[in-house]
Amino acid sequence: MEQTNGIGPAAKAHQHAVFSSDKFGREIPHAGKNGSIKTFFCHIKKYNKYIGNLKKNMKKRILIVEDEAGIIDLLKLVLNREGYEVASCQSGRDAIAAIKAYHPHLVILDVMLPGLDGASIVRIMNEDEMLSSTPVIITSALVESEKMFLPFPQVKGFASKPFVLADLTALVKKAIGDLM
């Protein structure tokens, strides 16, 4: 029986390609009990820098849950220019499935939606272990609706409609940790 380290063939090939290069360290062949073996010595700082660059270059995903097509188009335009990958859905009924399928780094959520309102969506997210840590920014024309989201820690901001795009962009960056 072959002993494995629990990773699949593609990941194993990537791991071998990354670690067999001189980029992060070097292999030192030596004799072991069962014949010749190689030990890899890794430069941790170089490897951590490599992983940090991978994460930095990965686009953050944002899901917009909004029933007004014009607002969706505007937000997509602005957020794409900021370097985010953006998807959207227009009904509360589709929101939870879209969040689970898309795995966004942030949800921009309107309060008044057809099918299921924003407060119900946040409640469902809060009760789901996989979704409860996904940050949410609430958008609404009703300023007083901000109060109903105070008990939910994943709600990171509130933007009153009509919102100032620069303010919303700053909220987005703060919510997903893109502030320098």
pTM confidence score: 0.69
pLDDT (tens digit per residue) in 46-72: 767 776 666 666 789 999 999 999 999
Q: For each of the domains in the chain, give its residue range(s) and CATH number, in order of start.
A: 10-55 (no CATH), 59-175 (3.40.50.2300)
Task: Report yes or no: 28 and 41 within 8 Å, Cβ to Cβ.
Answer: yes
Reading phi first (left if > 0) and then psi (alpha if -120 to 50, else beta), residue 6 is in: left
Residue with the bigger pLDDT between 168 and 59: it is: 168
Task: Report yes or no: 115 and 89 within 8 Å, Cβ to Cβ.
Answer: no
Smallest Cα–Cα separation from 161: which of 94, 112, 102? 112
Query: Is residue 21 scored above 70 in pLDDT?
Result: no
Query: Where would I find the beta strands (DSSP E) of 45-112?
Result: 61-65, 85-89, 106-110
Task: Report yes or no: 123 and 151 within 8 Å, Cβ to Cβ.
Answer: no
Distance CA 131, CA 103 (A): 9
pLDDT (tens digit per residue) in 82-137: 999 999 999 999 999 999 999 999 999 999 999 999 999 999 999 999 999 999 99
Smallest Cα–Cα separation from 171: which of 143, 148, 139? 139
Distance CA 82, CA 88 (A): 17
> What pLDDT was estimated at residue 6?
46
Mean pLDDT, all residues of the chain: 82
